[in-house]
């Protein structure tokens, strides 16, 4: 039985997500539909790319992923169907897949060309659903598009290293539900540049000289619980996706504050790492 996932910036208020699900069930009543997220910030390609990259591999091989972000077709925003890592992705060619394709080469990319048979102002419903159901029935990509060799790159997914190799300049690509600030600096990239050197991480006026393995490492469990004052402390970790993350321990954006709200960090703000040579 096929699985089709949905990742969009439709939100929960409007009819869009429900209409897409209804159209899929109308074609494939026995399909399984899984919502990855409908709460992507509107048109936020780096945010959507981060979520898709870290969610898709938990699904079985052969899963079909519809990505409804900035999907209105025009001459600069064509539609794609991609086979990658034995999964299928249907989205606009707006850079959203380049974060994944930077690490795993696509097996096949086609530019969807069935639009002459479909009149639409809602491509996620009218085009992406048709393509997903075609694939779910065992159809090949060549039937719904022409093979191409490259996709549009996304800007700012790779951090910058200066000529002296003593500084990484990254940027905030995602702010999670806890207000934790996630950068585009991956652990492997950090360690490759670090070469064992001491470092200082800077974000606005905040400085960090230590990276924890997990959030609770900031807690001193030798101190009685009633005497601890750990909640609200700031820290840096490599998160479960191996991205450098600035966090507040047990933060809450709506009450006590978070890394984003307390430090004034927002999407695309700079995070730098300076390496210190003794």
| Residue 271 contacts residue 204 (beta carbons within 8 Å) | no
In the block, tokens 């939100």 appear at 11
Query: pLDDT truncated to tens, each residue of the chain (278 aa)?
Result: 799 999 999 999 999 999 999 999 999 999 999 999 999 999 999 899 999 999 999 999 999 999 999 988 888 789 999 999 999 999 999 999 988 888 889 999 999 998 776 666 787 888 999 999 999 999 999 999 999 998 988 766 789 999 999 999 999 999 999 999 999 999 999 999 999 999 999 999 999 999 999 999 888 888 888 777 777 789 999 999 999 999 998 887 777 789 999 999 999 999 999 999 87
Q: CA separation (Å) from 210 to 84, 201, 215, 234, 236?
A: 36, 8, 12, 11, 7
Residues facing 32 on adjacent strands: 3
Res 269: pLDDT: 94
Q: What pLDDT sits at residue 173?
A: 92
Helix (H) / strand (E) containing 81: strand 79-84
Q: Does domain 3-147 have CATH number 3.40.50.10790?
A: yes
CATH number of 160-275: 2.40.30.90
User: Whose CA is closest to 192, among 239, 237, 240, 159?
Assistant: 159
Q: Where are the domains of the chain?
A: 3-147, 160-275
């Amino acid at each position: 039985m096929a699985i089709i996932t949905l990742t969009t910036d439709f939100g929960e208020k409007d009819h869009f997500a429900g209409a897409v699900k209804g159209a899929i069930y109308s074609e494939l009543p026995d399909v399984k539909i899984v919502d990855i997220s409908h709460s992507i910030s509107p048109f936020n390609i780096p945010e959507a790319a981060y979520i898709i990259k870290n969610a898709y591999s938990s699904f079985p091989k052969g899963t079909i992923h519809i990505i409804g972000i900035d999907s209105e077709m025009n001459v600069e925003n064509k539609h794609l169907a991609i086979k990658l890592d034995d999964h299928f992705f249907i989205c606009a060619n707006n850079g959203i897949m380049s974060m994944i394709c930077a690490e795993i080469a696509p097996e096949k990319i086609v530019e969807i060309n069935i639009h002459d048979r479909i009149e639409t102002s809602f491509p996620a419903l009218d085009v992406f659903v048709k393509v997903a159901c075609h694939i779910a029935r065992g159809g090949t990509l060549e039937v719904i598009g022409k093979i191409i060799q490259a996709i549009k790159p996304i800007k700012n997914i790779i951090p910058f290293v200066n000529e002296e190799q003593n500084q990484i300049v990254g940027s905030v690509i995602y702010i999670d539900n806890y207000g934790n600030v996630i950068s585009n600096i991956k652990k492997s990239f950090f360690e490759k540049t670090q070469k064992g050197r001491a470092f200082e991480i800077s974000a606005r006026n905040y400085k960090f000289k230590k990276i924890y393995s997990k959030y609770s490492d900031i807690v001193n469990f030798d101190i009685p619980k009633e005497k601890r004052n750990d909640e609200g402390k700031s820290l840096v970790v490599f998160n479960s996706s191996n991205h450098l993350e600035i966090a507040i321990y047990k933060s809450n954006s709506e009450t006590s504050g978070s890394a984003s709200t307390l430090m004034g960090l927002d999407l695309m703000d700079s995070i730098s790492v300076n390496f210190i040579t003794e």
